[in-house]
Structure 1
Amino acid sequence: MPVSELNLQVNLSVGDVAFKQGKQLMFIFWGIILPVIGSFGLIGNILNIIVLFRTEIKSTTVYFLRTLVLTDVGIIVGCILGLSSISVTQLHPDNPAMNYYTHVIYPHMYTPINFIGMTLQFTNVWMTVAVTIERYIAICHPFSAIHVCNQRNTFILIGSISVIAIAYNIPR
Structure 2
Amino acid sequence: MKIPLDTICVKSGVLCPRCRKLVDSGTYTLREVEIMKQLLELEEQDPNYRFLKDVTYVKSYETNSIIVTILDVDDSIPQSMLIRLGKTLSEKIGLRVRVIRKSDPKTLIAQIIAPARIHGVNSVWTPDGDVQHIIRISRYDARFLPVEVKELEQLLSTIFHENYRIKIY
**Normalization by structure 2: what TM-score?**
0.24
Q: Which has the higher contact order (CA 8 A, sep 6+)?
A: 1
Structure index of larger Rg? 1
**Normalization by structure 1: what TM-score?**
0.24
